[in-house]
Protein backbone atom coordinates (compact mmCIF):
# COMPACT_ATOMS: atom_id res chain seq x y z
CA UNK A 1 0.00 0.00 0.00
CA UNK A 2 1.09 3.58 -0.61
CA UNK A 3 2.72 5.15 2.45
CA UNK A 4 1.15 8.28 4.02
CA UNK A 5 4.10 10.52 3.10
CA UNK A 6 3.72 9.67 -0.59
CA UNK A 7 -0.03 10.27 -0.40
CA UNK A 8 0.58 13.68 1.18
CA UNK A 9 2.97 14.69 -1.59
CA UNK A 10 0.51 13.41 -4.20
CA UNK A 11 -2.33 15.37 -2.57
CA UNK A 12 -0.22 18.54 -2.66
CA UNK A 13 0.52 17.97 -6.35
CA UNK A 14 -3.19 17.41 -7.02
CA UNK A 15 -4.09 20.62 -5.20
CA UNK A 16 -1.60 22.62 -7.27
CA UNK A 17 -3.07 21.14 -10.45
CA UNK A 18 -6.72 21.51 -9.40
CA UNK A 19 -6.44 25.21 -8.59
CA UNK A 20 -5.04 25.85 -12.07
CA UNK A 21 -8.02 26.75 -14.28
CA UNK A 22 -8.63 24.09 -16.92
CA UNK A 23 -11.51 22.80 -19.07
CA UNK A 24 -13.18 20.96 -16.19
CA UNK A 25 -13.10 23.94 -13.84
CA UNK A 26 -14.33 26.26 -16.60
CA UNK A 27 -17.24 23.93 -17.36
CA UNK A 28 -18.17 23.56 -13.68
CA UNK A 29 -18.00 27.33 -13.10
CA UNK A 30 -20.02 28.10 -16.22
CA UNK A 31 -22.68 25.55 -15.35
CA UNK A 32 -22.94 26.88 -11.80
CA UNK A 33 -23.23 30.47 -13.00
CA UNK A 34 -25.81 29.59 -15.66
CA UNK A 35 -27.95 27.00 -13.88
CA UNK A 36 -27.12 27.15 -10.18
CA UNK A 37 -25.05 25.34 -7.60
CA UNK A 38 -26.95 22.06 -7.88
CA UNK A 39 -26.26 21.77 -11.60
CA UNK A 40 -22.64 22.82 -11.05
CA UNK A 41 -22.10 20.15 -8.41
CA UNK A 42 -23.70 17.44 -10.55
CA UNK A 43 -21.50 18.55 -13.46
CA UNK A 44 -18.44 18.07 -11.28
CA UNK A 45 -19.67 14.64 -10.19
CA UNK A 46 -19.91 13.72 -13.88
CA UNK A 47 -16.39 15.03 -14.46
CA UNK A 48 -15.16 13.06 -11.43
CA UNK A 49 -16.79 9.89 -12.78
CA UNK A 50 -14.99 10.50 -16.06
CA UNK A 51 -11.71 10.85 -14.20
CA UNK A 52 -12.31 7.52 -12.48
CA UNK A 53 -12.91 6.00 -15.91
CA UNK A 54 -9.49 7.30 -16.99
CA UNK A 55 -8.02 5.78 -13.82
CA UNK A 56 -9.51 2.45 -14.86
CA UNK A 57 -7.93 2.80 -18.31
CA UNK A 58 -4.59 3.54 -16.67
CA UNK A 59 -4.90 0.52 -14.38
CA UNK A 60 -5.62 -1.67 -17.41
CA UNK A 61 -2.75 -0.13 -19.37
CA UNK A 62 -5.01 1.25 -22.11
CA UNK A 63 -3.90 4.87 -21.63
CA UNK A 64 -0.61 3.99 -23.32
CA UNK A 65 -2.59 3.50 -26.52
CA UNK A 66 -2.59 7.28 -27.04
CA UNK A 67 1.21 7.29 -27.06
CA UNK A 68 1.59 4.16 -29.17
CA UNK A 69 -1.09 5.06 -31.73
CA UNK A 70 -1.20 8.81 -32.47
CA UNK A 71 -4.33 8.41 -34.59
CA UNK A 72 -6.20 7.09 -31.54
CA UNK A 73 -5.38 10.31 -29.69
CA UNK A 74 -6.60 12.46 -32.58
CA UNK A 75 -9.73 10.37 -33.05
CA UNK A 76 -10.79 10.81 -29.41
CA UNK A 77 -9.82 14.49 -29.54
CA UNK A 78 -12.04 15.19 -32.54
CA UNK A 79 -14.89 13.09 -31.12
CA UNK A 80 -14.66 15.17 -27.96
CA UNK A 81 -14.70 18.41 -29.93
CA UNK A 82 -17.71 17.24 -31.96
CA UNK A 83 -19.54 16.32 -28.77
CA UNK A 84 -18.85 19.73 -27.22
CA UNK A 85 -20.02 21.50 -30.38
CA UNK A 86 -23.22 19.46 -30.25
CA UNK A 87 -23.71 20.51 -26.62
CA UNK A 88 -23.12 24.14 -27.59
CA UNK A 89 -25.76 23.97 -30.32
CA UNK A 90 -28.20 22.08 -28.07
CA UNK A 91 -27.73 24.53 -25.19
CA UNK A 92 -28.24 27.64 -27.31
CA UNK A 93 -31.23 26.36 -29.25
CA UNK A 94 -33.19 24.83 -26.36
CA UNK A 95 -36.24 26.79 -25.25
CA UNK A 96 -36.57 25.31 -21.77
CA UNK A 97 -34.69 25.97 -18.56
CA UNK A 98 -32.73 22.78 -17.68
CA UNK A 99 -32.96 23.70 -14.01
CA UNK A 100 -36.79 24.00 -13.99
CA UNK A 101 -38.56 21.77 -11.42
CA UNK A 102 -40.73 20.22 -14.16
CA UNK A 103 -37.91 18.04 -15.43
CA UNK A 104 -35.45 18.41 -12.58
CA UNK A 105 -34.42 14.77 -12.23
CA UNK A 106 -33.95 14.28 -15.96
CA UNK A 107 -32.07 17.56 -16.23
CA UNK A 108 -29.61 16.54 -13.52
CA UNK A 109 -28.96 13.23 -15.30
CA UNK A 110 -28.29 15.11 -18.55
CA UNK A 111 -25.93 17.49 -16.74
CA UNK A 112 -24.08 14.56 -15.14
CA UNK A 113 -23.77 12.79 -18.49
CA UNK A 114 -22.43 15.90 -20.19
CA UNK A 115 -19.79 16.35 -17.50
CA UNK A 116 -18.81 12.69 -17.77
CA UNK A 117 -18.40 12.60 -21.54
CA UNK A 118 -16.68 15.98 -21.74
CA UNK A 119 -13.99 14.49 -19.48
CA UNK A 120 -13.84 11.01 -21.01
CA UNK A 121 -13.54 12.38 -24.56
CA UNK A 122 -10.59 14.60 -23.63
CA UNK A 123 -7.46 12.52 -24.36
CA UNK A 124 -5.31 15.04 -22.49
CA UNK A 125 -6.86 13.75 -19.26
CA UNK A 126 -5.62 10.24 -20.08
CA UNK A 127 -2.14 11.58 -20.76
CA UNK A 128 -2.28 13.54 -17.50
CA UNK A 129 -2.99 10.34 -15.57
CA UNK A 130 -0.26 8.56 -17.51
CA UNK A 131 2.28 11.28 -16.70
CA UNK A 132 1.45 11.88 -13.02
CA UNK A 133 0.34 8.62 -11.45
CA UNK A 134 3.33 6.35 -12.26
CA UNK A 135 5.59 8.68 -10.25
CA UNK A 136 3.72 7.63 -7.10
CA UNK A 137 3.27 3.94 -7.82
CA UNK A 138 5.47 1.26 -6.26
CA UNK A 139 5.01 -2.27 -7.64
CA UNK A 140 6.74 -3.67 -4.54
CA UNK A 141 4.05 -2.19 -2.26
CA UNK A 142 1.14 -4.30 -3.44
CA UNK A 143 -1.37 -4.28 -6.27
CA UNK A 144 -0.70 -1.49 -8.76
CA UNK A 145 -4.38 -1.45 -9.69
CA UNK A 146 -5.32 -0.80 -6.06
CA UNK A 147 -2.69 1.93 -5.82
CA UNK A 148 -4.05 3.62 -8.95
CA UNK A 149 -7.54 3.76 -7.49
CA UNK A 150 -6.27 4.99 -4.11
CA UNK A 151 -4.49 7.85 -5.88
CA UNK A 152 -7.58 8.51 -8.00
CA UNK A 153 -9.69 8.78 -4.83
CA UNK A 154 -7.23 11.26 -3.33
CA UNK A 155 -7.45 13.29 -6.53
CA UNK A 156 -11.25 13.27 -6.33
CA UNK A 157 -11.27 14.46 -2.70
CA UNK A 158 -8.93 17.34 -3.53
CA UNK A 159 -10.89 18.09 -6.70
CA UNK A 160 -14.16 18.16 -4.79
CA UNK A 161 -12.77 20.69 -2.29
CA UNK A 162 -11.47 22.97 -5.03
CA UNK A 163 -14.39 22.64 -7.42
CA UNK A 164 -16.88 22.77 -4.57
CA UNK A 165 -15.51 26.23 -3.82
CA UNK A 166 -15.85 27.16 -7.49
CA UNK A 167 -19.45 25.93 -7.51
CA UNK A 168 -20.27 27.98 -4.41
CA UNK A 169 -18.72 31.19 -5.75
CA UNK A 170 -20.09 30.89 -9.29
CA UNK A 171 -23.52 29.91 -7.98
CA UNK A 172 -23.46 32.96 -5.72
CA UNK A 173 -22.71 35.19 -8.70
CA UNK A 174 -25.78 33.71 -10.42
CA UNK A 175 -27.99 34.89 -7.57
CA UNK A 176 -26.93 38.47 -8.25
CA UNK A 177 -27.85 38.16 -11.93
CA UNK A 178 -31.30 36.62 -11.41
CA UNK A 179 -32.99 40.02 -11.19
CA UNK A 180 -32.65 40.38 -14.96
CA UNK A 181 -35.68 39.10 -16.87
CA UNK A 182 -33.59 37.81 -19.77
CA UNK A 183 -31.18 35.88 -17.54
CA UNK A 184 -32.32 32.43 -18.69
CA UNK A 185 -31.78 33.24 -22.36
CA UNK A 186 -28.39 34.86 -21.87
CA UNK A 187 -27.24 32.08 -19.53
CA UNK A 188 -27.89 29.61 -22.36
CA UNK A 189 -25.78 31.70 -24.71
CA UNK A 190 -23.01 31.93 -22.11
CA UNK A 191 -22.96 28.19 -21.45
CA UNK A 192 -23.14 27.44 -25.18
CA UNK A 193 -20.17 29.74 -25.77
CA UNK A 194 -18.21 27.87 -23.09
CA UNK A 195 -18.93 24.53 -24.78
CA UNK A 196 -17.87 26.02 -28.11
CA UNK A 197 -14.66 27.43 -26.62
CA UNK A 198 -13.76 24.08 -25.08
CA UNK A 199 -14.37 22.40 -28.45
CA UNK A 200 -12.08 24.89 -30.18
CA UNK A 201 -9.43 24.24 -27.55
CA UNK A 202 -9.53 20.52 -28.31
CA UNK A 203 -9.43 21.07 -32.06
CA UNK A 204 -6.57 23.56 -32.24
CA UNK A 205 -4.48 22.68 -29.19
CA UNK A 206 -2.88 19.48 -30.41
CA UNK A 207 0.24 19.62 -28.25
CA UNK A 208 0.59 16.62 -25.93
Q: Is 207 exposed, middle or buried (0-12, 13-18, 19+ CB in 10 A)?
A: exposed
pLDDT at residue 156 in the model: 95
pLDDT value of residue 142: 83
Least confident of 85-89, 95-99, 109-113: 95-99
Average pLDDT over residues 48-58: 95
Give mean pLDDT, residues 45-52.
Answer: 96
Is 168 a residue whose pLDDT tops 70? yes
d(CA 31, CA 192): 10
Q: Is the pLDDT of residue 155 over 90?
A: yes
Q: Taking residues 27-42, report their average pLDDT.
A: 91
Q: Which domain holds residue 76?
A: 4-12+23-204
Per-residue pLDDT at 98 exceeds 80: no
152 vs 63, higher pLDDT: 152
- The residue ranking higher by pLDDT, 207 or 60, is 60
Q: For 2, left (φ over 0), alpha (ψ -120 to 50), or beta?
A: beta
Residue 75 falls inside a structural domain: yes
Residue 18: inside a domain? no
Residue 17 lies in a domain: no
pTM of the model: 0.84
Residue 100 in this model has a pLDDT that exceeds 80: no
Q: Is residue 143 part of a domain?
A: yes
Question: What is the pLDDT averaged over residues 3-9?
Answer: 90
**Quick one: CA dihedral 33, 38, 43, 47, positive or negative?**
positive
State how far the Cα of 126 lies from the Cα of 200, in Å rounded to an integer.
19
Domain count, the chain: 1
**At 141, is the pLDDT very low, low, confident or very high (cuts 50, 70, 90)?**
confident
pLDDT band, residue 116 (cuts 50/70/90): very high
Residues 6+ apart with CB under 8 A from 123: 66, 73, 76, 77, 80
Amino acid sequence: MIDPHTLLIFAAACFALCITPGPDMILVAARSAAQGRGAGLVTYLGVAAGAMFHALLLALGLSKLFLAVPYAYDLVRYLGAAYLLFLAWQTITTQSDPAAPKAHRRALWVVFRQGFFSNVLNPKVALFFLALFPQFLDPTSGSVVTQVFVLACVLQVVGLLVNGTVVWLAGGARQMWLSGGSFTRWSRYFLGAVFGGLAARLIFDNQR
